A and B are shown apart, each in its own frame.
Chain A
């Protein structure tokens, strides 16, 4: 079933907020799909990286319900390939921050097994907490 979307002032505000946080001009995205084509995580994502650009451009805040921004690990493959020099990883980070700043954490320290706690390199734990907590 197709969804009807409304283009609203709230949506325009959302785009503005994400543009400010990311420092990227999302309206420059030409939807060529290069980011998606190179993304090593794309088969884990519910929507593609180019879709988060599109949804954000049109002010669709349901982009925040997608898992894509949480799966993105800032590997910067899209960053070095976007023909418009956009940094999609910065947009992902901005979307994560919009959520995290509502004090929503995406990681639970109790979920780490004892074995992992012993073995995991500290850079893994620190980076996960930096990316998944506000």
Chain B
């Protein structure tokens, strides 16, 4: 025989000065008889109070507990501790919120407050009777890590993790790894060759037994949200038959020679072009040809086939299909890097229109080729570098400093000066930032070489239509003279922003961005490479602008964070998860589409089941289930029905009730905050806690209307603050369905409302519930006959 202990807390008068706890006791006893044991005490949270509960559990053989006291946000943990000490499962406990939601809010109306307390305590008793012991789920952790992005950040993270024995999958969207670093000529401030540093690491990635490398590949989906991820990788066709052993393709270059199409080569930044069939660069890893379907004539409805015909090994296969791979990972590192600011967005600088205005990355390639006999382009005699193009410019919405441009301009200018000492070089800057190790010395060396630093930001350029020189207008803010001079070449020091290729990843993993548009770390000081998603880490410039040493340091930090995480070998998840009552499930599959995380799937016996590692416990899947087979632990449908029944059991004929389904994260907290501030609202309001608005199904709404609700308000967090992003959307659909039932039954008025709250929207909550309570008084009463019709459930 089950017996529930009900412990009513006076809270030193905070509760008992308003609520007559004796009357509450009487009511509970009347309703539940010998099934309950009721105690009143001054401070339940005190040592003495806790002992009282523990002793009672043991003496009376209680197997369920309701503590009617303050909000669960204050002492739910305390009382769960008491449960454990008393040998009970902490999940067979319910907290009835008498202080914040009743005694403080309705201080001036003790009698009504007492009535409300009866309703709330009974709702908790009815709910607790259906509580089941729950145990945290333990999930095994493996050693599979997905690294997205094959630049220096991804490479470093991959090598560190692979060396530590983790199984790494590295996915790169381009046909070769190496990223931006492989494109650079030399690095600042040491001027060592960028390609020479990175190419051994690139080879190591290819050769490492613990690394699976997918280049020319996109991530098209990621499911999962903590330490268990399922990624879909699209390995795009290269249209070259598999040549793992390199014994088929001879790299004879005949295909390249006959290809009639010339397009911009990313690797050379367009300074040198490539063919539609190509290897991006001599140091490409993997060193494999690719046919670019965006450029190849055969993909544009023309028949060219020149490469196919000339290939002596016959390895070109233009019918090859993309390959789709699905794999499961325990952790993910996002190392998607940056995109250079697109200077065409700043038309005053004429990039893309004026022949002699180039980006910094183009200049890297120009400088790289400068010592060749026939360099791909001339630089001329007078060269200007323009700092802060796409950085520190609110006109284009980029407030931040890109951190690398000052030094790469100093580097490019220095390299140019060394290669062509006669060149007259100017760097136009606003503030020159030389903060890193060896930077100031490097800056000084450039000044010593004769490079002139001018403090001023140009407003616009013009192109001389005959000489194609670029006229720069700029104030030398130190002399206050305005310089107007024609330059042979203008190099824009483009700022950097999060790469556009990151956006789908952000979407799949629900990552946050900071105001500057880069990925947001879990904490800027002590969790700089973590994200708010457990098991997902960031490395490199995806998190914010940084130079190569900082990127490498951060990449190793991310690798070490992955190791620490995976070293736990297993992890626990909160047991408040969805489950499927197998007997009730008829296999209709309607639930499959209602979980955007795909946590609900069909099992071998044709019934739905929940993949617990993917479930977020929001309860949104339940609304889609016609047989009520889907349910949520700790908030089962039966429990919520029971609570609703109890909350309205004492309702009198002439009274109105506004039932608030309050989501745990925001709406419930607003009501708590209102209590703390002693702010009043309508006494008709009754609040039931739910994990999210998505949990509130049309059936629950109808049952509430049947049992006595005159209006319902369902609250959830504001859209961008939602714990689970889709709950409010699903709730709105449920409300539409419920409203239709009401309308069909001839119930007048709006009656069911949804609204968004933050923990701070105090006045909004008061206005909303008072407004609803007021409007109900103007509506036609719902007759008991109509109420009966609304819901089949007794």
| Interface residue ranges, A against B (CB under 8 Å) | 30-39, 42-43, 47-48, 50-51, 77, 80-85
The 15 listed contacts between A and B (C-beta, < 8 Å) are A31-B477, A32-B388, A32-B456, A32-B457, A33-B476, A35-B459, A36-B456, A36-B482, A37-B456, A37-B460, A38-B473, A51-B480, A80-B395, A81-B348, A81-B459
- Tell me how far the C-beta of A48 lies from the nearest C-beta in chain B, rounded to whole angstroms: 6
**For B617, what are the chain A residues with a Cβ–Cβ distance below 8 Å?**
none
Q: In the complex, what distance in Å separates the CA atom of A117 from the CA atom of B185? A: 65
The 8 Å CB contact of B393, one of A39, A42, A50, A83, is A83
Within 8 A of A (CB), among B462-496: 473-477, 480, 482
Q: Known contacts A48-B475, A51-B480; is A37 also within 8 Å of B459 by CB?
A: yes
The answer to whether B480 and A47 touch across the interface, beta carbons within 8 angstroms, is yes
**For B476, what are the chain A residues with a Cβ–Cβ distance below 8 Å?**
33
The answer to whether B392 and A33 touch across the interface, beta carbons within 8 angstroms, is no
Instruction: Give the nearest-CB partner of B482 in chain A.
Output: A42
The answer to whether B457 and A48 touch across the interface, beta carbons within 8 angstroms, is no
Q: In the complex, what distance in Å separates the CA atom of A37 from the CA atom of B457? A: 7
Instruction: Give the nearest-CB partner of A33 in chain B.
Output: B475
- Tell me how far the C-beta of A133 lies from the nearest C-beta in chain B, rounded to whole angstroms: 30
**For A51, what are the chain B residues with a Cβ–Cβ distance below 8 Å?**
480
Q: In the complex, what distance in Å separates the CA atom of A11 from the CA atom of B786? A: 77
Within 8 A of A (CB), among B402-445: 430-431
Instruction: Give the nearest-CB partner of A80 in chain B.
Output: B395
B interface secondary structure, majority:
mixed
Q: In the complex, what distance in Å separates the CA atom of A48 from the CA atom of B459? A: 14
Q: Known contacts A37-B473, A48-B475; is A85 also within 8 Å of B394 by CB?
A: yes
Chain B interface size, as a band, is 20 to 34
| Interface residue ranges, B against A (CB under 8 Å) | 348, 388, 392-395, 430-431, 455-460, 473-477, 480, 482
Q: How many A-B residue pairs have CB under 8 A?
A: 66
Q: Known contacts A81-B348, A83-B457; is A30 also within 8 Å of B431 by CB?
A: yes
**For A32, what are the chain B residues with a Cβ–Cβ distance below 8 Å?**
388, 430, 456-457, 477
Instruction: Give the nearest-CB partner of A86 in chain B.
Output: B394
A interface secondary structure, majority:
loop
The answer to whether B474 and A33 touch across the interface, beta carbons within 8 angstroms, is yes
- Tell me how far the C-beta of B482 lies from the nearest C-beta in chain A, rounded to whole angstroms: 6
Instruction: Give the nearest-CB partner of A45 in chain B.
Output: B482
Q: In the complex, what distance in Å separates the CA atom of A82 from the CA atom of B457? A: 10
Instruction: Give the nearest-CB partner of B460 in chain A.
Output: A38
- Tell me how far the C-beta of B357 lies from the nearest C-beta in chain A, rounded to whole angstroms: 16
Q: Known contacts A50-B477, A81-B395, A83-B393; is A34 also within 8 Å of B482 by CB?
A: no
Q: In the complex, what distance in Å separates the CA atom of A54 from the CA atom of B473? A: 20
Q: In the complex, what distance in Å separates the CA atom of A34 from the CA atom of B348? A: 12
Q: In the complex, what distance in Å separates the CA atom of A42 from the CA atom of B393? A: 22
Q: In the complex, what distance in Å separates the CA atom of A83 from the CA atom of B346? A: 12
The answer to whether A83 and B395 touch across the interface, beta carbons within 8 angstroms, is yes
Instruction: Give the nearest-CB partner of A51 in chain B.
Output: B480
Query: For A35, A48, A83, which residue has the most chain B Cβ atoms within 10 angstroms?
Result: A83
Q: Known contacts A82-B395, A83-B392, A85-B395; is A37 also within 8 Å of B475 by CB?
A: yes
Q: In the complex, what distance in Å separates the CA atom of A82 from the CA atom of B475? A: 13
- Tell me how far the C-beta of A72 lies from the nearest C-beta in chain B, rounded to whole angstroms: 15
- Tell me how far the C-beta of A32 lies from the nearest C-beta in chain B, rounded to whole angstroms: 4
Q: In the complex, what distance in Å separates the CA atom of A83 from the CA atom of B431? A: 13
Of all A-B residue pairs in the complex, the 3 with the closest CB atoms, nearest first, are: A38-B459, A33-B475, A37-B459
- Tell me how far the C-beta of B348 lies from the nearest C-beta in chain A, rounded to whole angstroms: 7
Q: Known contacts A50-B475, A83-B388, A83-B394; is A37 also within 8 Å of B480 by CB?
A: no
Given A30-B430, A36-B459, A84-B394, list of 9 further CB < 8 A pairs? Answer: A31-B430, A32-B477, A33-B477, A34-B459, A37-B474, A39-B459, A42-B482, A48-B475, A81-B460
- Tell me how far the C-beta of B384 lies from the nearest C-beta in chain A, rounded to whole angstroms: 13
The answer to whether A33 and B394 touch across the interface, beta carbons within 8 angstroms, is no
**For B388, what are the chain A residues with a Cβ–Cβ distance below 8 Å?**
32, 83
Instruction: Give the nearest-CB partner of B476 in chain A.
Output: A33
